Amino acid sequence: MGGIFYGISDALLRKRRCPKCGKEQVVPREKRRETVRCVKCGNEIPPPTNR
C-alpha cells in the first residue's frame, strides 16, 4: 500500500511510447526494465535509459 505519490510515479514509469508507430502503452510493472513488444505494430520497445 504505497502513498498517492508513489502511485503517480509508478503510473508514469509504466507508460512507454513506441518509437515506430507512436502508440503509447502501459507496461506491466514487472516488465518496466525489459524490452516489450508494441501491441499495435509489434516493434520492440527498449526500456527507458534514465531511471
Residue 38 lies near Zn ion (rule: CB under 5 A) = yes
DSSP per-residue letters across the chain: ---HHHHHHHHHHTEEE-TTT--EEEPPGGGTTS-EE-TTT--EEPPPS--
Residue 21 lies near Zn ion (rule: CB under 5 A) = yes
From CA 6, how far away is CA 10, in angstroms rounded?
6
Min dist. Cβ of residue 38 to Zn ion (A): 3
Residue 18 lies near Zn ion (rule: CB under 5 A) = yes
Min dist. Cβ of residue 5 to Zn ion (A): 30
Point out which residues bind Zn ion (CB under 5 A): 18, 20-21, 23, 38, 40-41, 43
